[in-house]
Amino acid sequence: MSAELVVQKRPPRPLWWGFAPFILASAVHCAALFIGMEAIAGPTKLALMPALILAAIWGRPRLGNTAVFRLLLAGLFFSWLGDGAGTFFPFAPTLPMMLAFFAVAHLCYIRVFWRHLALRPLPLWALIFLLWWAVLLSILWPRAGSLAPAVAAYGLVLGTTAALSTRCNTMIMWGGAFFLASDTILAFRIFALELMPEWTSGMVMVTYTVGQGLIIAGALLTRRSSK
């Protein structure tokens, strides 16, 4: 009788454990914003993307494509630079630096949505994001002054990210929608503050953290299901 070597495959570790630090940091940061504790809101903002990078690293074994992992990390890294533009680059105008870094982050997401995570063709209803862009510009262009062209370009990149997220799984699609909502609220708070109630300050980061978290979780789950 010949002995057979039985190799047991270790079950994948729970994905959500890796998101615990990000969820905690997001909850503390958003709560601090709503109650006006800037001493906590500032540092925790800079902890958000590193915590989400840890979640992506935790879920790395589920990814079958190194390019996906690199693009996700690049998107999170440039998002982190955008979050801390005023802190990291005090010698430069904060808003243009923030727009530049987030534009690069969105280009990373556009690439990964288009080339690696798409599950279906672009739906016809995704044209609504073109309408969103046109309405946004009609309101903000007269208020943005010299930054109007940069706002228009960034809005186009942001809308493209949201549109391409509709080709991916439902989690990524909602992540793209929340990211779009976050930047839309932020744009109005920067250029049309008189139109925005005070509570929308906290909603910028609530929608941002939810959007980023859903994008990364959805990407990890997509790659697992596609093996």
Q: Tell me the residue type at 187.
A: A
Quote the pLDDT of residue 114. 94
Confidence (pLDDT) at 65: 73
Can you give the residue ranges of every domain in the chain? Answer: 17-225
pTM for this predicted structure = 0.90
Q: What was the pLDDT predicted at 5? A: 42
CA dihedral sign of residues 35, 38, 41, 44: negative
Query: What is the pLDDT, as a whole number, of residue 212?
Result: 98
User: Which residue, 31, 36, 4, is CA-closest to 209?
Assistant: 31
What is the model's pLDDT at position 223?
53
Evaluate whether 48 touches 209 at the Cβ level (below 8 Å).
Answer: yes
Q: What is the pLDDT of residue 6?
A: 42
Averaged pLDDT, groups of 10, the chain, 227 residues long: 46 80 97 93 96 94 85 97 94 93 97 94 95 95 93 96 97 97 95 89 96 96 57
- Secondary structure of 119-175 in HEC code, one letter for each residue: CCCCCHHHHHHHHHHHHHHHHHHHHHHHHHHHHHHHHHHHHHHHHHHCCCCHHHHHH
Residue 61 pLDDT: 84
Residue 62 is predicted with a pLDDT of 79
Query: Within a 10 A sphere around the Cβ of 193, how many other Cβ atoms?
Result: 12
- Sequential DSSP letters for 13-59: PPGGGGGHHHHHHHHHHHHHHHHT-HHHHHHHHHHHHHHHHHHHHHT
